[in-house]
Chain A
Amino acid sequence: MATEFNLTTHVEVDHQHDHDHEHHEEGFIRKYIFSEDHKMIAKQFLFTGLLWAFLGGAMSVIFRLQLGFPDLELGFLKPILGSWIDETNKLDPNYYLALVTMHGTIMVFFVLTAGLSGTFSNFLIPLQIGARDMASGFMNMLSFWFFFAASLVMFASLFLETGPAMGGWVVYPPLSALPEAVPGSGSGMTYWLISMALFIISTLLGGINYITTVINMRTKGMSFSRLPLTIWAFFLTAIIGLLSFPVLFAAALLLIFDRSFGTSFYLSDIYIGGEALHHQGGSAILYQHLFWFLGHPEVYIVLLPALGITSEIIATNSRKPIFGYRAMIGSMIGIAILSFIVWAHHMFVTGMNPFLGSIFMFLTLIIAVPSAVKAFNYITTLWRGNIIFTPAMLFSIGLVSVFISGGVTGIVLGNNALDIQLHDTYFVVAHFHIVMGSASFFGFMAGVYHWFPKMFGRMMDAKLGYIHFWLTFIGIYLVFFPMHYIGIAGFPRRYYSFTSFQAFNTFADLNMFISVAAILTFTAQAIFAFNFVWSIFRGRKAPLNPWNANTLEWTTPRLPGHGNWPGKIPHVYRWAYDYSKPNADKDGFTDFIPQHIPLSQTPHSNLEYENELMQKQNVTDDLKVNE
């Protein structure tokens, strides 16, 4: 326990010196709305992201009703969906496509990109590297408001006469380019493109800030080889985003020109009702190349932050150093680089030259190596650890589980010969919902449970957390595992109904089962919603370091103010994973030694190289050294 005192004493040393950063009261608007404080912006991203998650989830329930119970009367949904339910009390097929499209767009971009990175990069980067705030608070604020504007536009598109975009989250032309193809390709698609353009600006503003902050604003001693893996993950995610989102912007811009200005970048030889359109010489495949050049890195933009969060939580709650810290960084860098050269595995069946396909297959399968390294490192960290099953820990272990099950099917899909059968079937849906959807969602939830005390100064209820975890964990496997079988049998994705196909009738029961499981899993999230909201106001007050973790954020006061540390910023003397270090007790520590404890204070537990390191850096009076 002695250590906890250390934490507070070290930080609150000289109150007098840092006046400009504390307690100047701000008005309501500056504090809660147009805030430039990274913690408030993180919460804004969190709330917006969670709202979107519930909306996106509710959409999936509706189309699952259609798929599982094709004969069900949906008249009772009329008050919510209005004309999306037709006269026969069935979901209008066009709006089925709209729901699928919106569900995908919302989940991939608004929840798992903005919600996840936006929340945790903003919240944790300054707190864990020891900075007062982001490099530019103003850009950070803009980043949120661009996201918010994107959200509003996307939300508004739901209420359009012709409906929102209906071309799938990948919005392939010509379907997305021609209003004659599907009603949603009219103004719905225009709204979609405007919203995504705003979204890309938001992501770039955020990403530039994250990278700048990580490189330039670290506290003394926080070298790259001491950065917590969370920060490494957010940092690499931001770099991937910076390199790939502009490409999506280019793709979208050309699509806008095709749709609204009559160019032919993606369109050619199209006849509608026997009439030839004027578009000549475009290439629809070109769009796919541009889209997937973003699209594949995007899946890692979604996943890496979740992996970073998991690394931190698993090490902390196994009370063991993370296994293979450098290997973890190396594999994240490997994944980041490889993610740019595999995009064509989404296009194996576009008539691509089979030889080229084999090259992309080879590159794709190589990604399995760094992915497996990460999975092994998680397991070896857990191995014989002193595991504490907090809800965050359960979600992190759950992430490891789904990451493995989904990765294995990725290897199947990565083979260009097998993909001929499996492409655009429910097998793909199963693959990415497990490896991307569930894994990132679990990382998101793990992060919320773990850092809730730092965000709101209160604890979430652990019992409700356990119930939430088990229902979700079992639920997602029940939903997505059977989809593999349906997919192998050849079920195409994005079909409104299968009742007219003899071959698929045998799967009616399985589809019904999936739908029931999906509804139950979605309902279970209400437990989380309740726990979250209730704990913000009524949760038990959080101790300063509830999980006995090493990283810097736990050296701040219970509710850090503007500038994060009331006194000077702590310096860093060791990596973030000194858990259960031998002989720590002789130095007066329990099973963890936080990052800001100097090596000279822990002579008994220092390793040989740490002693050498310490000799090289003059031992001086710390209090004078600080500015």
Chain B
Amino acid sequence: MLESNYTMAEEARETLAMHPQKFAMWLFIVSIVMLFAAFTSAYIVRQAEGDWLFFELPSLFWSSSLILITSSGTMHWALVSARKDNLGTLKLAISLTTLLGLGFLVMQFLAWKDLVTNGIFFAGSQANPSGSFLYVITGVHGFHLISGLVFLLIALYSAFTYRIHAKNLTRIEMCATYWHFLDILWLYLFGFLLLNN
């Protein structure tokens, strides 16, 4: 079978190729961006129609933002440690990130409580869409943050079982990308809410 009609051929060009998993992760991020693009544009469209209740955003959002930014920092620290094979700091940094992530969620929840005490409800006869939108936007973001936490826990587990090191960075790199994205997404949403209030 070997003697095909041709044994000589010009060299076929390499095609462009990236890491498929990382690439897929970016596409996943695109779909999340579209989801929030839908929410925020719906927000603008609805606001333009009037009958819109304006209210102060809970000040807790400032502290929760700070926590999330810090967690992005520790996440980066984890990545750098993994690259340098500093497994001790890696474990510490990932654990810190997870804790800070949890802290962010708690803060968001407390912020919701504040809203309720101030009479801003998600649903019911006293609710205005402006409040409902706030709950939906923060809630769906929180939901994605939980998925990020699950990802972090997986990375944490891998770190403690020594499956992340300088030669095996894919998992932690993807985890970091996703975490930073969730951080930036929150900052965008917070900024958006501030501007439209």
Q: Top 9 nearest A-B pairs by Cβ distance?
A: A221-B12, A598-B9, A622-B9, A250-B38, A9-B4, A278-B125, A571-B12, A262-B123, A246-B34
Within 8 Å of chain B (Cβ to Cβ): is A497?
Answer: no
- CB pair A601–B129 under 8 Å, yes or no, is no
Given A286-B42, A573-B9, also A219-B15 (CB < 8 A):
yes
- CB pair A601–B6 under 8 Å, yes or no, is yes
B 6-28 to A, binary, CB cutoff 8 A, 1 in contact else 0: 11111111111111110110011
A 242-257 to B, binary, CB cutoff 8 A, 1 in contact else 0: 1111110111011001
- CB pair B30–A620 under 8 Å, yes or no, is no
- CB pair A618–B30 under 8 Å, yes or no, is no
Within 8 Å of chain A (Cβ to Cβ): is B49?
Answer: yes
Which residues on the B side are within 8 Å of A208 (C-beta)? 24, 27-28, 31
Q: Which of these, B13, B127, B140, contacts A263 with CB under 8 Å?
A: B127
List the interface of chain B (C-beta within 8 A of A): 1-21, 23-24, 27-28, 30-32, 34-35, 37-39, 42, 45-46, 49, 51-52, 122-125, 127-129, 132-133, 136, 140
10 contacts between A and B (CB under 8 A): A212-B24, A217-B20, A246-B34, A250-B38, A264-B123, A281-B51, A571-B12, A598-B9, A617-B11, A622-B7
Given A249-B35, A263-B123, A263-B127, also A215-B5 (CB < 8 A):
no
Closest to B30 in A: A242
The smallest C-beta distance from A146 to any residue of chain B, in angstroms, reads 14
- CB pair B39–A257 under 8 Å, yes or no, is no
- CB pair A261–B24 under 8 Å, yes or no, is no
Given A204-B28, A601-B8, 5 extra CB contacts under 8 A: A218-B15, A242-B34, A257-B136, A293-B38, A597-B6
Query: Once bound together, how far apart are the Cα atoms of A623 and B11, in whole Å?
Result: 10
Query: Once bound together, how far apart are the Cα atoms of A236 and B129, in whole Å?
Result: 36
Query: Once bound together, how far apart are the Cα atoms of A216 and B25, in whole Å?
Result: 13
Given A6-B5, A281-B128, A601-B9, also A221-B136 (CB < 8 A):
no
Closest to A241 in B: B31
Which residues on the B side are within 8 Å of A212 (C-beta)? 20, 23-24, 27
Q: Which of these, A215, A222, A247, A278, contacts B23 with CB under 8 Å?
A: A215
Which residues on the A side are within 8 Å of B12 (C-beta)? 219-221, 571-573, 598, 617, 625
List the interface of chain A (C-beta within 8 A of B): 2, 5-6, 8-10, 12-13, 135-136, 139, 204, 207-209, 211-213, 215-223, 242-247, 249-251, 253-254, 257, 261-265, 278, 280-283, 286, 289-290, 293, 571-573, 588, 597-601, 614, 617-623, 625
Query: Once bound together, how far apart are the Cα atoms of A243 and B36, in whole Å?
Result: 11
The smallest C-beta distance from A247 to any residue of chain B, in angstroms, reads 4
Query: Once bound together, how far apart are the Cα atoms of A588 and B35, in whole Å?
Result: 55
- CB pair A601–B30 under 8 Å, yes or no, is no
Query: Once bound together, how far apart are the Cα atoms of A622 and B12, in whole Å?
Result: 9
- CB pair A263–B10 under 8 Å, yes or no, is no
- CB pair B10–A9 under 8 Å, yes or no, is no
- CB pair A619–B42 under 8 Å, yes or no, is no
Given A212-B27, A281-B129, A290-B42, also A622-B6 (CB < 8 A):
yes
The smallest C-beta distance from A95 to any residue of chain B, in angstroms, reads 32
- CB pair A261–B10 under 8 Å, yes or no, is no
Query: Once bound together, how far apart are the Cα atoms of A620 and B12, in whole Å?
Result: 10
The smallest C-beta distance from A287 to any residue of chain B, in angstroms, reads 9
- CB pair A573–B38 under 8 Å, yes or no, is no
Closest to A617 in B: B10
- CB pair A622–B17 under 8 Å, yes or no, is no
Query: Once bound together, how far apart are the Cα atoms of A247 and B33, in whole Å?
Result: 10
Given A215-B23, A257-B123, A622-B7, also A617-B132 (CB < 8 A):
no
- CB pair B20–A598 under 8 Å, yes or no, is no
The smallest C-beta distance from B15 to any residue of chain A, in angstroms, reads 4
The smallest C-beta distance from B13 to any residue of chain A, in angstroms, reads 6
Which residues on the A side are within 8 Å of B11 (C-beta)? 617-620, 625
The smallest C-beta distance from A602 to any residue of chain B, in angstroms, reads 9
Which residues on the A side are within 8 Å of B3 (C-beta)? 9
- CB pair B5–A2 under 8 Å, yes or no, is yes
Which residues on the B side are within 8 Å of A136 (C-beta)? 20-21, 24
- CB pair B132–A244 under 8 Å, yes or no, is no
- CB pair B7–A621 under 8 Å, yes or no, is yes
Which residues on the A side are within 8 Å of B24 (C-beta)? 135-136, 139, 208-209, 212
- CB pair B6–A598 under 8 Å, yes or no, is yes
Closest to A294 in B: B38
Which residues on the B side are within 8 Å of A253 (C-beta)? 136, 140
- CB pair A618–B10 under 8 Å, yes or no, is yes
Which residues on the A side are within 8 Å of B13 (C-beta)? 220-221, 223, 617
- CB pair A262–B46 under 8 Å, yes or no, is no
Given A242-B27, A262-B123, A265-B132, also A601-B15 (CB < 8 A):
no
Q: Which of these, A220, A282, A600, contacts B129 with CB under 8 Å?
A: A282
Query: Once bound together, how far apart are the Cα atoms of A571 and B7, in whole Å?
Result: 13
Query: Once bound together, how far apart are the Cα atoms of A104 and B155, in whole Å?
Result: 44
- CB pair A9–B5 under 8 Å, yes or no, is yes
- CB pair B127–A598 under 8 Å, yes or no, is no
The smallest C-beta distance from A546 to any residue of chain B, in angstroms, reads 22
- CB pair B136–A573 under 8 Å, yes or no, is no
Which residues on the A side are within 8 Å of B124 (C-beta)? 262, 278
Q: Which of these, B39, B46, B123, contacts A261 with CB under 8 Å?
A: B123
Closest to B129 in A: A281
Q: Which of B20, B38, B52 has the most CB of A within 10 A?
A: B38
Query: Once bound together, how far apart are the Cα atoms of A598 and B15, in whole Å?
Result: 16
Which residues on the A side are within 8 Å of B38 (C-beta)? 246-247, 249-251, 290, 293
Closest to B12 in A: A221
Closest to B5 in A: A6
Closest to A247 in B: B38
Closest to A5 in B: B5
Which residues on the A side are within 8 Å of B52 (C-beta)? 281
Which residues on the B side are within 8 Å of A221 (C-beta)? 12-13, 15
Which residues on the B side are within 8 Å of A257 (C-beta)? 123, 132, 136
Q: Which of these, A12, A222, A261, A283, contacts B122 with CB under 8 Å?
A: A261
The smallest C-beta distance from B115 to any residue of chain A, in angstroms, reads 14
Query: Once bound together, how far apart are the Cα atoms of A243 and B33, in whole Å?
Result: 9
- CB pair B122–A263 under 8 Å, yes or no, is yes
- CB pair A619–B34 under 8 Å, yes or no, is no
